[in-house]
Structure 1
Amino acid sequence: MSALRISDEPQEFPSITVAAVQMEPRVGCKAENLEASLHLIAEAASAGAQIVVLPELVSSGYVFSSREEAFELAESVPAGLSTQAWIDAARQHNIYIIGGVAERVGHKLYNCAVMVGPEGYVGTYRKLHLWGDEHLYFEVGDLGLPVFHTPFGRLAMIICYDGWFPEVYRLLAMQGADIVCMPTNWVPMPGQGNGAMIMANTLAMANAHVNGLNIICANRVGTERGQRFVGNSIIVGADGWPLAAPGSPDLQQILYADINLKASRQSRHLTTFNTVLRDRRTDIYDPMLGTGWQLPRY
């Protein structure tokens, strides 16, 4: 397993270490996928990671042949095998883990991300924006965009195609999120030039910059039932620049970065006069995009 890590130079303020796990789950191989995820979680924790992000649908695989197969591979949250195993790992290593699960709720299925920590189950996010054949298997998310308060700051979760919607990042920033954890299964985009940065990385960098958010993107690799996945996991700082450069397009690896929450919040001040969230023209447009949510107290 290769690893990518940023410089260990001392920083002005204490920081936390985060990890994006880039791996190759296999559809239908739940036991093997879970075992592989636990091995990589342990590796990341031993390297000092305090927050570990796994790919989208890492427990089940992604390319289902039918809704029946998706339903069979899904599990309840938090009572399901994967979530319970991650809870045990989070307690053992004293870390937070975010991973993608096909969630079964009665006869409904959701593409979800679950967050667990040393205290146990923290919360669930259900993907709001479905991609491609996901419409055949999953309901659209119905839990909104929750932000969870942890000892490592305010953490939020989104999944893959959610990252194409700037409203998602802005609403999380307006709720005070510090770190957005993104399990993802990025695929090639039309028009992608050889050697060019993938579109998903560009979007993550742009949205991190304009919202002052740290973003941890954990993508998968490999080809599953003819569908190729592009790797290139990335960890982006709140100023929009990569903290861990894009990962390999085809190798399993773990990316590490140190995130300084105090410096991240300060980075929202672009100049003496300019702070993106403060400079919004709320006399022209709704500051919460019509959701009616209340702003947090900082």
Structure 2
Amino acid sequence: MSRIVKAASAQMGPIPKSQSRKQAVSRLVAMMREAKGRGAELVVFPELAFTTFFPRWMIEDEAELESYYETEMPGPETAPLFEESKKLGVGFYVSYAELVNEGGRRRRFNTSIIVDRNGEIVGKYRKVHLPGHSEPQPGRVHQHLEKRYFEPGNLGFGVWRAFGGVMGMCICNDRRWPETYRVMGLQGVEMIMLGYNTPFDHTGHADIDGLTSFHNHLSMQAGAYQNSTWVIGTAKCGKEEGSSMVGQSVIVAPSGEIVAMAATLEDEVITANCDLDIGKRYRQTIFDFARHREPEAYRLIVERKGAIAPPEN
């Protein structure tokens, strides 16, 4: 018997700096309603979905900087999304900037959550692989200061039982790192949700940046195939405050095939019937970790480290 999750990727066009949280949330609610109209039970929203992508600027005023962070979830301005989730019986994933007091100090994370069909949070993840810089780089029109405004996540790559399967999360740059998928894959993940805000000039090297769209899909398709999991990648895209960001939101099957893709750089909902048992077949054949993966080989490599000198930077 197939286990079908009707899932939606709810891509967002640009969020201007002048747009309020209330306005951004109303866009998310509208897309959730559209997804429900298509029969979806789960919606994946982008990274930092409530505000413009503020790490593109050097922000020295502390009050201005903190205005981009959430201190509670849901809060007064984000609560309508949770209320609509419960009303419609549609769960969701969303990412936001989180400001918390932990360990006796104020900490900032790039965070995502999974919310079930009752509007209740069932899982939280904090972005591990932070790209960019901690200090402004000379000659750049748009900065990429995630390392300044966030610290690496401290929750690891967990999985949660929800929507009839094993669900996982990651955020943006995490998708480029194979260990992101493998850690969840070793826990039997069946669907990974991820949001991203990826500019076309993120490295500052034209030969690499020119392949942004290719690398975007390459990483998600490889992660899905090599770990026998569905991957739902959702962009915030288009020209936001002068910065061009990649779209191409996708739903990727455990085969590595793209089964749905956004066609615009605006608010757009795409859906697919995701059969979780497709991943099960791949885990029982090609990627049967228990039969075919050889962790002992990795141990030997670690023990022999230094036998081959690493390249100089």
Question: TM-score, normalising length from structure 2?
Answer: 0.80
Counterpart in the other structure of 1:157: 169
Taking only aligned residues, the RMSD between alpha carbons, in angstroms, comes to: 2.3
Counterpart in the other structure of 1:37: 28
Larger Rg: 2
AA partner of residue 212 (structure 1): S
Match status 1:27 vs 2:17 = yes
AA partner of residue 126 (structure 1): R
Counterpart in the other structure of 1:123: 123
- The answer to which of 81-90 and 163-172 deviates more is 81-90
Match status 1:113 vs 2:126 = no
Question: TM-score, normalising length from structure 1?
Answer: 0.84
In 2: Cα distance, 1:77 partner to 1:146 partner: 21
Q: Helix, strand or coil for the counterpart of 2:54?
A: coil
In 2: Cα distance, 1:145 partner to 1:14 partner: 24
In 1: Cα distance, 2:252 partner to 2:148 partner: 32
Change (3 A) 1:231 1:197: closer
Give 1:230 shift.
Answer: 0.9
8 Å Cα contact 1:77-1:83 kept in structure 2: no
Aligned 1:40-79 pairs, distance under 5 A: 40-64=31-55, 65=57, 66=59, 68=62, 69-79=64-74
8 Å Cα contact 2:70-2:99 kept in structure 1: yes
2:243 corresponds, among 224, 227, 230, to 227
Give 1:72 shift.
Answer: 1.1
2:190 corresponds, among 162, 174, 178, to 178
Counterpart in the other structure of 2:99: 104
8 Å Cα contact 2:44-2:195 kept in structure 1: yes
Change (3 A) 1:191 1:104: same
Q: Helix, strand or coil for the counterpart of 1:143?
A: coil
Q: Which structure's residues are more often helix, by fraction?
A: 2
Match status 1:254 vs 2:269 = yes
Q: CA offsets, 1:207-259, max 9 Å, x none?
A: 11111011000001122233211101111001111111x32352331111111
8 Å Cα contact 1:238-1:268 kept in structure 2: no
Q: CA offsets, 1:146-185, max 9 Å, x none?
A: 1111133111110000011101100001011110000111
Give 1:197 shift.
Answer: 5.1
Give 1:279 shift.
Answer: 1.1
Give 1:81 shift.
Answer: 3.5
